Amino acid sequence: MPSSPALSWPAATDFAALADAGWPAIERVPIGGWVARFAGGVTKRANSVYPADSVEDVDAAVAGAERAYRDRGLVPLFQLSDGDAAIAAALSARGYIERDETLVLAAPTRGILEAVSSEPTGGTAVEVVAEPDDEWLATWWAVDGRGGAAELEVARRIMTGGPALYAAARDDHGTASVARLALVDDGELQWGGLYAVATRQDARGRGHARSVVTALTTLAAARGVDALWLQVLAGNHVARRMYDGLGFRAVATYTYVQAPA
């Protein structure tokens, strides 16, 4: 277990707001203090309600959100964080179903770099660029994508909707692993958000994912990024072990809650 520096961000850091900024929906519709996000059904985060602030009438706001999603041919979906118990209760009464419990992990960039400082360098060639090319997108889509060419183009628009860096590790067969680092300033710190960490199936277990994360962290630190965050499914124990070894620690949780079919 690495001895990482103490977590060094304000206790009031809004990780839900960071995640919202780091994976921007194509369309955003305010519903009181909530934000209904739409992107043609491509990815849950970009097609779910984000309760950014309070509303006067939770039931009325839920009904408004339901209409907005149904009008676009989408099943209503909410992303609820630790403090959204009242909304969760209202949705449960409507028959909504919880799915995909997710952990938010964070670590200071200096802690990640200290965790990898004793590791041998070289071996995996990693390139970091400002825009994802077709091969980068295809590698990620083969692992996490849902849909065809039209949906992939929507995903490209989401990814490039804000400043970010894109890393790709290559082997003899092409792109082996990719990762995206969204760059977000929350007014207190410069943050980097890890998204789309994916490894080609036949290239797994060789440290490629760790290599792309390390490369992004190194460049982020050089650009003044203070800390990184990411989201990982609670049941993804392989990924969690890797992030734990890099010094990431759980700082929040959220759950998607979906309307009954």
Question: What does pTM read for this prediction?
Answer: 0.92
The pLDDT of residue 6: 53
Residue 151: closest CA among 40, 44, 75: 40
Task: Give me 134's structure tokens.
Answer: 């077709």
| pLDDT tens profile 67-79 | 999 999 999 999 9
Q: Residue 118 and residue 249: Cα distance in Å, rounded?
A: 20
Q: Which region among 151-160, 193-202, 203-212 has the lowest average model confidence (pLDDT)?
A: 203-212
SS3 content of the chain, % helix, strand, coil (to 5): 35, 30, 35
Q: Percent of the chain beyond pLDDT 70?
A: 95
Q: Which amino acid is at 76?
A: P
What fold characterizes domain 104-253? Aminopeptidase (3.40.630)
Domain spans of the chain, in order of start: 15-103, 104-253
Task: Give me 53's structure tokens.
Answer: 């602030």
Distances (CA, A) of 129 to 13, 46, 160, 174, 255: 28, 23, 12, 16, 32
| pLDDT tens profile 227-249 | 999 999 999 999 999 999 999 99
| pLDDT tens profile 199-230 | 999 999 888 999 999 999 999 999 999 999 99
Give the DSSP per-residue string, 70-96: HHTT---EEEEETT-HHHHHHHHHTT-
Q: Residue 257 and residue 260: Cα distance in Å, rounded?
A: 10
| pLDDT tens profile 114-147 | 998 867 655 688 999 999 999 999 999 999 999 9
The pLDDT of residue 179: 98
The per-type count for the chain, helices as H runs and strands as E runs, is 8, 11
